[in-house]
Amino acid sequence: MTSSKKIFLVLASSVILAGCQDLGMSPDITSTPPVQPPPTETTLSYSANISPILQRYGCAGCHGGSGGLFVGSVTQLQTGGFHGPAIVVGNGAGSNIIKKLSSTPPFGDRMPQGGPYLPDSTIQVIKAWIDQGANP
């Protein structure tokens, strides 16, 4: 097993083991180190990498239609909500999800609303996934 695959497995395991807390309470993320961006040769996918992040930070519970947005699949993210598509495949920096996770969103509040906010390294994982083609 290559070192990049080992790093990826460790990162994926830490995200999965963090669990899901989307019952309207802020997840306790202080005990888990932030997810680091994977090496560029690692192919990211929604199911293995992005969905666990969205679950961990409560995005899936909040965006069960909030703002017209559902985050349960790549198709739903591409369809988007009231402000257009959440992701623009191949353009992470231009995607609304990345803009809304940043410290200065172009509209509304930073997400997740009221925090805790995603570490920059985790936002970079989502951006890299979009840049790679938003694989399911």
- Digit-coded pLDDT (tens) for 99-136: 999 999 999 999 998 889 999 999 999 999 999 999 99
Assigned domain for 99 exists: yes
Each residue's pLDDT tens digit, 52-90: 999 999 887 676 677 889 999 999 999 999 999 999 999
- For the chain, how are helix, strand and coil distributed in percent, rounded to 5? 40, 5, 55
Its domain, for residue 42, covers: 3-131
pLDDT band at 26 (very low <50, low <70, confident <90, very high): very low
Please count the structural domains in the chain: 1
List the structure tokens of 119.
């570490």
Is 112 within a domain? Answer: yes
Q: For residue 68, give the amino acid letter.
A: G
For 67, the token pair is 């703002």
Does the residue 136 lie in any domain? Answer: no
pTM (2 decimals)?
A: 0.69
- 18-38 CB burial, b ≥16 within 10 A, e <16: bebbbeeeebebeeeeebebb
